Structure 1
Amino acid sequence: MRNILYVALAVSLATICGATQAQSYPTKPIRLIVPFAPGGTSEVLGRIIAQKMSEHLGQQIVVDTRPGASGGLGTTLTANATPDGYTLLFTSLSPIVINVSVQKGKLPYDPEKDLAPISVITKVPSVFAVQADFPHRTVKDLIAFAKANPGKLSYGSSGTGSVNHLIVELFKSAAGIEMLHVPFKGAGQGLIALRSKEINMISAAPPAVLPHIRSGVFRAIAVSSATRSPALPDTPSISESGILGFDVSAWYCLMGPAGIPRPIIDKVRSTLVKTITTAPVSEHLIAQGAAPAPTTPEELAKLINGDLKRWAKAVEVAGLKR
């Protein structure tokens, strides 16, 4: 009985301490780790959101890009950080669910145990983009050429095992074609390579590639979601282009190291939701093809658990299991 009372008292004190911390939080700048190179979707969206969240919280949020190991480096730094709310992670699903299958048993963190879910930020398709003068105008044209010329078409992604890499691998499998994968250290490098015609196509999220499409340098030939993206209403989905039922998208989220007091998580989440669902940030995200899609921490945890299984199959298709 006495032990039960001690446990209850300890829980109560922890709750009170967490609530007290949340009232004054934050009292210093917050580090927002983006585990990918500058120029990619995570960095682009991270800076947009961090600026407005800084205003709401009254403290600067410093974006710290830490690329490496398909997002694993920055994610490991987050998992090992002090769980006080002053280190947060803005990431795609790649280091959270895909790396678990790619580096089975070798990952230095467990996304379900070492990280605290806060909220999904947005869900986006992959855009298949080519040079404006690329001779193949549609997905059907691309498939026909690839079947007649196996391995002659190349595509770039933000890295081996990245979500955009796996989406093309799933597309290749469904279409029965071969294309050469050229991995880059972030979408920014891939965009440069496409611009200089070192590769034929890139698979990237809308925020990274839309400026180049709107400027007329690139042309979008398809999106990987079941329906068209509102940001690219004239670009067909892969499904409507002949690969019926193809529907694969990525999500981006905010997390922190496990152990952050719940009142601080709630304060960060409420500030995030306010930021991404009100103008001007909400309008900017929608224009970037990344409509806000906030969740509760519990909903994000459930999404992660389900996608660990779903993306394991994609990793197998791509032949990436180590």
Structure 2
Amino acid sequence: MISRSRPVTSCRPRLRPRASFARSSAVTRIRPRSGPRSPAGGRHDLPAGETYASLRFTMRSLLRLLATVVLVSSATPHAAAQSYPSGPISLVIPLAPGDATDVAGRTMAEELAKLLKVPVVPLNRPGAGMAIGTDSVVKAKKDGYTILLTPNAAVVSARILNPESVTYDPLKDLTPLGLTTRTPILVAVREDAPYRSFPEMIEFAKRNAGKVRVGTVGTGSVGHLNVEMINSLTGAGLTMVPFKGGAPGITALLGGHVEGGAFSLGSLSSHVKSGAVRGMVVSHSFPGFPDIPTLPRLGYRQNLLGVWAAFFAPAGVPADVTKTLVAAIEKVAKDPAVAAKLVSFGILQDYAPPEKLVAEIREEHRTVEELAKKAGLVK
């Protein structure tokens, strides 16, 4: 008997009849029309009790939650610090334009802007012995977008000599970022003075009480304190004469109204070079004037006070922001090109990291307080 083979048919799966609309409902569990097959060849079903509507609701809720987490995370200080800086930085200088610290600040601001890739804008806020500008930084937002460049007077002598105008504690209310420059203070006399060196000037002053008058920029200034230091170390009895600024004091020196002056080397350098005045002693050795000694070179235990400038931020700035600023400031403060620009203004590049800056503030505070008491400036 001849067997007949069945015709070969395609192995298509039998389609199930679709339920009519009348038999379906909004909460009926359904199978997806397409999707990956299970190992057994079937399709994945939704978990028991789930519907597409509830699944869509769950996904929307999850996406909202993720978006919220991202927004909150980006608003945290740590995230902000990681993107710092993202905008202009205000550099407050608590002195009028043209001061040595202002000149140094503007020079360094240009280089900081290149490193940080954002504008660094110098803002002069003088007044109240530099307390106005300094206090504005103390009270600024703790985000690193307002920083301070100030001379030592604002964070050392101002608290001793003018406590009523200083409401801040520099070691508690400010974050030190680094000392960057020094402006040497020079004690000079007229070229026709009868003494040619510092030791000779001291001997003359001892023999001629009140005959060596030294001009300064004012009572309580660095120059004034240096006159008191010299008197304390030598017993010379120099007479301090206060002026309202360096220009009138130097004019008085050149005109013979005082025998000497204690002013910034930058303001006196041209007169030293011209031979109008002669340098007796300087707070820090300076290029171009190698023959003018410091007190330690002459055998004294102390050095004259100079003017230094340092960067600060408000206390409480995030650590990552502080680290960024310290690194940039150190690089600028050690840049030979910056040093060359500053030296032409009588300013020395002399970097000290935050920890050494704090130590110098404390040491200088002790020195100034002692000198101020001897001079009768404080009780």
- Fold match (TM-score > 0.5): yes
**Offset of residue 254 of structure 1:** 1.0
**Matching of residue 17 in structure 1 with residue 17 in structure 2:** no
Partner residue of 2:370 out of 313, 318, 321: 313
CA-to-aligned-CA distance 1:118-167 (integer Å, 9 cap, x gap): 11113554321234444432212322332333234332334332333212
Partner residue of 1:62 out of 121, 125, 132: 121
Q: Is the 8 A contact 1:126 1:205 kept in 2?
A: yes
**Offset of residue 278 of structure 1:** 1.7
**Matching of residue 232 in structure 1 with residue 292 in structure 2:** no
CA-to-aligned-CA distance 1:174-223 (integer Å, 9 cap, x gap): 22133332334554554454445444322234444434433544432212
Decide whether aligned partners of structure 1 residues 222 and 57 sit closer, same or farther in structure 2, where only a CA change above 3 A counts: same
How well do the aligned residues superpose, as a CA RMSD in angstroms?
3.1
For 1:239 and 1:180, the matched residues in 2 are separated by 23
For 1:245 and 1:173, the matched residues in 2 are separated by 12
For 2:352 and 2:126, the matched residues in 1 are separated by 25
Matches within 5 A, 1:264-303: 264-285=321-342, 288=346, 290-295=348-353, 297-303=354-360
> What is the letter of the counterpart of residue 244 of structure 1?
Y
**Matching of residue 81 in structure 1 with residue 140 in structure 2:** yes
> What is the letter of the counterpart of residue 246 of structure 1?
Q
For 1:16 and 1:86, the matched residues in 2 are separated by 16
Q: In structure 2, what is the equivalent of residue 253 of structure 1?
A: 310
**Matching of residue 36 in structure 1 with residue 92 in structure 2:** no
For 1:149 and 1:14, the matched residues in 2 are separated by 72
Decide whether aligned partners of structure 1 residues 217 and 266 sit closer, same or farther in structure 2, where only a CA change above 3 A counts: farther
For 1:318 and 1:14, the matched residues in 2 are separated by 56
**Offset of residue 171 of structure 1:** 0.6
For 2:82 and 2:218, the matched residues in 1 are separated by 38
TM-score, normalisation: structure 1: 0.79
Decide whether aligned partners of structure 1 residues 191 and 254 sit closer, same or farther in structure 2, where only a CA change above 3 A counts: farther
For 2:242 and 2:233, the matched residues in 1 are separated by 21
Matches within 5 A, 1:78-157: 78-104=137-163, 107-123=166-182, 125-157=184-216
**Matching of residue 171 in structure 1 with residue 227 in structure 2:** no
Q: In structure 1, what is the equivalent of residue 45 of structure 2?
A: none
Decide whether aligned partners of structure 1 residues 192 and 286 sit closer, same or farther in structure 2, where only a CA change above 3 A counts: same
**Structure ranking higher on relative contact order (CA contacts 8 Å, 6+ apart):** 1
TM-score, normalisation: structure 2: 0.69
Q: Is the 8 A contact 2:143 2:318 kept in 1?
A: yes
For 2:191 and 2:125, the matched residues in 1 are separated by 32
> What is the letter of the counterpart of residue 300 of structure 2?
L
For 2:325 and 2:183, the matched residues in 1 are separated by 23
Decide whether aligned partners of structure 1 residues 214 and 30 sit closer, same or farther in structure 2, where only a CA change above 3 A counts: farther
CA-to-aligned-CA distance 1:244-282 (integer Å, 9 cap, x gap): 323234332111222222222222222211112123113
For 2:76 and 2:356, the matched residues in 1 are separated by 25
For 1:263 and 1:160, the matched residues in 2 are separated by 41
Moved more, 167-176 or 71-80: 71-80
For 1:317 and 1:283, the matched residues in 2 are separated by 39
Gaps of 5+ in 1: 1-12
For 2:233 and 2:316, the matched residues in 1 are separated by 42
For 2:75 and 2:357, the matched residues in 1 are separated by 22
Decide whether aligned partners of structure 1 residues 72 and 303 sit closer, same or farther in structure 2, where only a CA change above 3 A counts: same
For 1:215 and 1:26, the matched residues in 2 are separated by 49
For 2:301 and 2:239, the matched residues in 1 are separated by 24
Q: In structure 2, what is the equivalent of residue 160 of structure 1?
A: 219
Matches within 5 A, 1:190-229: 190-224=249-283, 228-229=285-286
Q: Is the 8 A contact 1:103 1:321 kept in 2?
A: no
Q: Is the 8 A contact 1:206 1:290 kept in 2?
A: no
Q: Is the 8 A contact 2:294 2:304 kept in 1?
A: no
Question: SS state of the match for residue 89, structure 1?
Answer: strand
